[in-house]
Amino acid sequence: VPARFEKQVHVQEVLACTCGRGVVTAPPPARVVDRGEYGPGFLAHVVTSKCADAMPLHRLAQRVERSGVPMSRSTLTDLFHQAASV
Ligand SMILES: [Zn+2]
């Protein structure tokens, strides 16, 4: 099976008590970067492609886009820097 990207959608359920005083929100999933929308696997893929495979980020962006995921070089650059600062 060739590699592919998958988008996971996490829905945070909010429940309110019928008395109207208590509201509880489910906790969000753990993230590598605060409020980041990319998972740890994709960040590892970006760092490995650039550092271990010497792939320039503009070419990695083209490869990701060919897989059907809209991606810009600047987004990959931001992810790369965020991964380095974690
Ligand atoms: Zn209540």
pLDDT over 90 at 49, yes or no: yes
pLDDT over 80 at 34, yes or no: no
pLDDT over 80 at 21, yes or no: yes
Q: How far is the CA of 14 from the centre of ligand 1 (A)?
A: 14
The CA distance from 85 to 33, in Å, is: 9
The string over 47-77, giving b where at least 16 C-beta atoms fall within 10 Å of a residue's C-beta and e elsewhere, is eebbeeeeeebeebbeebeeeeeebeeeebe
Mean pLDDT of the chain: 90
User: What is the pTM (predicted TM-score) of this model?
Assistant: 0.76
Q: How far is the CA of 13 from the centre of ligand 1 (A)?
A: 17
Take residue 60 and report the two structure tokens written for it. Answer: 């990695």
Cβ–Cβ < 8 Å for 46, 79: yes
Q: How far is the CA of 10 from the centre of ligand 1 (A)?
A: 26
| Mean pLDDT in residue range 5-22 | 89
Q: How far is the CA of 24 from the centre of ligand 1 (A)?
A: 11
| pLDDT band per the 50, 70, 90 thresholds, residue 53 | very high
Domain range list for the chain = 30-85
Q: How far is the CA of 47 from the centre of ligand 1 (A)?
A: 48
